[in-house]
Amino acid sequence: MDRPPAKKNLPRLGREAYQGLAVVHWVFNIQDRKTGWLDERFFRDFEFYALHTFARYQLLSPCVCLMPDHIHLLVMGYANESDQKVAIPFLRKSLKPILEPFRLQRTPYDHVLRVEERKRREFARLAGYIRENPVRAGLVKTHQVWPYQTAIVPGYPTLDVKQDDFWDDFWNVYHYLLDKHVVAT
């Protein structure tokens, strides 16, 4: 009897793909896609740990959406020293005790955005996809009422993803941070 070919791991990008000004869509699945862990307390704790992680590693996220069985983060570096390859394991380790008895799936999904995907139109499409997750899942009629979405931009607590002017304000902050932190090489 013929055996099916052994499964191979997906090829991984080198560490440099996650450093500097990289933009990455991360998805953390809950082990076995279990539900029952997501509530207001966890969401507040998640924001706390993500904020400290992002401040430490010079990252920000304009689009975070926690779903009943997974978490979406669109993470952007804004300095030459930004390092998502170190930051994401740090965040996941920080979440472990507040998630118990649930666990994150061992390997997160990640997609490093290519240059063409980082252009405004494509970027907006991806952010919209993330924000519309609760609508596609039938949990709410409009993403604006989903309570478990946020933006995490250290130093800018009043940026609110539910405000009409969010994207204009976000891009202004992002470009300000780039001007302040990126050293031409």
- Is residue 89 in a domain? yes
- Is residue 10 in a domain? no
CA–CA separation, 127 vs 113, rounded Å?
A: 12
Residue 95's H or E segment, with its range, is helix 84-99
- Is residue 85 in a domain? yes
In single-letter form, the type of residue at position 19 comes to Q
Output the 3-class SS for 37-76: CCCHHHHHHHHHHHHHHHHHHCEEEEEEEEECCEEEEEEE
CA–CA separation, 126 vs 25, rounded Å?
A: 9
CATH of the domain at 128: 3.30.70.1290
Q: pLDDT tens across 113-129, in order?
A: 999 999 888 998 999 99
Q: What is the pTM of this model?
A: 0.90
- Is residue 180 in a domain? no
pLDDT under 70: residue ranges of the chain: 1-11, 183-185
Question: Are 60 and 54 spatial neighbours (Cβ–Cβ below 8 Å)?
Answer: yes
- Is residue 110 in a domain? yes
- Is residue 159 in a domain? yes
Contact residues for 112 (Cβ-Cβ < 8 A; gap 6+): 13, 17, 18, 22, 23, 24
**Structure confidence at residue 51 (pLDDT):** 97
- Is residue 7 in a domain? no
| Domain that residue 26 falls in | 16-173
- Is residue 64 in a domain? yes
Q: How many separate domains does the chain show?
A: 1
**Structure confidence at residue 53 (pLDDT):** 98
Token digits of residue 14:
């080198």
